[in-house]
Amino acid sequence: MNQTLTVFTTINVSYADSDELQLCLKMFSDALPPANWVIHTPDMLVTAQALFQQNKPTEGYVLFVKEPALLIDKQTYPLLEKHLINDSNVIVVLPSDGRNINNKLAANYYTLRGFERYSVGFCKQSDANLPYDGREPWVFLISAKNLKHLTLPENPFSLPAQLTREQVVIAMNAYSHPFFNYYDESRVDLLPFVPISTQSLLDVGCSRGGFAEAVKTKLHCRVSGIEMNRHEAQSAEKVLDRLWVGDVLSLEIQEQFDCISCLDVLEHFANPQQLLKIIRHWLTPDGRVLLNVPNVGFWAIVEDLLAGRWDYVPAGILCNTHMRFYTQYSLRQLLQECGFNIITLESHRIPLPEHVEIGFNDYQKTGLRVDFDNLSTLAFTVLAEPIG
């Protein structure tokens, strides 16, 4: 094929402060053939539409990417290109994603190796297409030849919506995984762990303030947050009663709080003892700390290690900004060392895949000790109180 490729995308201001999003961009770029990148950023004086018109290619293909916080493998682009070559009636092709996956093909990967294996299985499906269902397109491919006959909308990424259903298809054998919601998660599933008596909450690493806002809605209490990413903090400021922007280890906060939440935060600190010491100081006498911590002993990580793999990714247990890794044992040891008594510790379990259960049962028969509860635990949620 070897047609020239132009990638047109937008990068928001959060990328400047986020090593995770920077890794997203690198991994997405590495999965594509050499390309000419046209990138629109919010600080530009021209619109995305105008920028593209100024750099509009006359040959090859154009990959429109709403935001490069996407994971694809090296087969994704060739498969999309093949769909356009094989059907002249198709103008735009999108890869599949979680929005059109049935239970039989439900995503069950938690690591890069797992994603690669899942994508390979996906590629083995029929090369048939699904008709476009009107979904928001995250990424799509079009030929420069067809593009020159179209009027690009003000929002270039909405182009598929102005075409007919026959002209836009979803490739059933190409797959993409989004990281768009990295800063959006509100973790409402953890609301039951916040004591109902809480009148003030501090969310450390509050991102856009989703969890604290949910707590405020439920308990009608005062909520505050700390966020290091100054761009995401702008969203949090709109929903919190008070916000501190900066490194939690350097802030001087004179207030105390009934509950301090650190959801998927502790593992980002090389010295968690220092963070927990500060949290103790900020808690009221009857205060509680709420933690959510990923489990490095989860089966997908152990299976990768047995296969000689340990791949950092933009989000998840092996997030590239994780400085420390925990099992239930090491987490209990840390909290005890820092003067906390565990009130509640809940393991978030996911049933082991059949091949994993069979494999580790065989290991156990050789005399190796296997903790199946640990293998099935994705993360721990802990509610703790300071001792003394």
Selecting from 3.40.50.2300, 3.90.550.10, 3.90.226.10, 3.40.50.12170, what CATH number does the domain 5-181 have? Answer: 3.90.550.10
- Residue 304: how many CA atoms within 13 Å on its side-chain side? 21
Selecting from 3.40.640.10, 3.90.1150.10, 3.30.450.20, 3.40.50.150, what CATH number does the domain 183-386 have? Answer: 3.40.50.150
Pairwise pLDDT comparison (95 vs 2), residue with the higher score: 95
At 103 the pLDDT is: 47
Please classify residue 22 by burial: count the beta carbons closer than 10 Å to its beta carbon, then call 0-12 exposed, 13-18 middle and 19+ buried: middle
Closest by alpha carbon to 268, among 290, 242, 249, 240? Answer: 249
Supply the mean pLDDT for the chain: 92
At 265 the pLDDT is: 97
How many helices and strands (H and E) does the chain possess? 12, 16
**272 vs 270: CA distance, rounded Å:** 6
361 φ/ψ sector (left φ>0, alpha ψ -120 to 50, else beta): alpha
Please classify residue 388 by burial: count the beta carbons closer than 10 Å to its beta carbon, then call 0-12 exposed, 13-18 middle and 19+ buried: exposed
What band does 182 get if pLDDT is binned at 50, 70 and 90?
A: low
290 φ/ψ sector (left φ>0, alpha ψ -120 to 50, else beta): beta
What band does 101 get if pLDDT is binned at 50, 70 and 90?
A: low
At 324 the pLDDT is: 98
**pLDDT over 80 (residue 214):** yes
**Is the C-alpha dihedral spanning 21, 278, 382, 371 positive or negative?**
positive
**176 vs 179: CA distance, rounded Å:** 10
Pairwise pLDDT comparison (99 vs 379), residue with the higher score: 379
Joined tokens for residue 346: 């809940």
What band does 105 get if pLDDT is binned at 50, 70 and 90?
A: low
pLDDT tens by residue, 261-279:
999 999 999 999 999 999 9
Could you give the residue range(s) of every CATH 3.40.50.150 domain in the chain? 183-386
Could you give the residue range(s) of every CATH 3.90.550.10 domain in the chain? 5-181
pLDDT tens by residue, 30-44:
999 999 999 999 888
Joined tokens for residue 198: 């809480």
State which amino acid sits at residue 89.
N
